Amino acid sequence: MRAVKYFVNDRICIEDRDPENRFPMKDTWAITDPFGRCLNGDLEFEYEPMPSNRNDAFLARCRFSLEKAQRVAATFSDSTEDTET
């Protein structure tokens, strides 16, 4: 058994979008918020379409390896902490 969701803080979490490991060579981790949006590599949120409507461009922007998702989430958290003070 492995974790499929990591809470980064009260605003974002990292979720595995392939918990059954059907695509083991793909980057399947998403950084999500409670409103159904995904964080992309530019640290901007965008609406996450239904699975059948997710194109390759969306997946390239919003899916990461676990390690990269952790780095992007940390960068986002650090950048939002700076704006809240």
58 vs 83: CA distance, rounded Å: 27
Nearest C-alpha neighbor of 29 from the set 2, 67, 1, 55: 67
pLDDT digits (tens, 9 = 90+) for 2-33: 778 999 999 999 999 887 878 777 889 999 99
Asked if 40 and 46 touch (Cβ cutoff 8 Å), the reply is yes
- Residues 53-78: what's their mean pLDDT? 94
3-state SS class at 35: coil
Give me the residue spans of the domains in the chain: 5-84
In this prediction, residue 83 carries a pLDDT of: 59
Task: Kindly indicate the confidence band of residue 1, based on its pLDDT and cuts at 50, 70 and 90.
Answer: low
pTM for the whole structure:
0.85
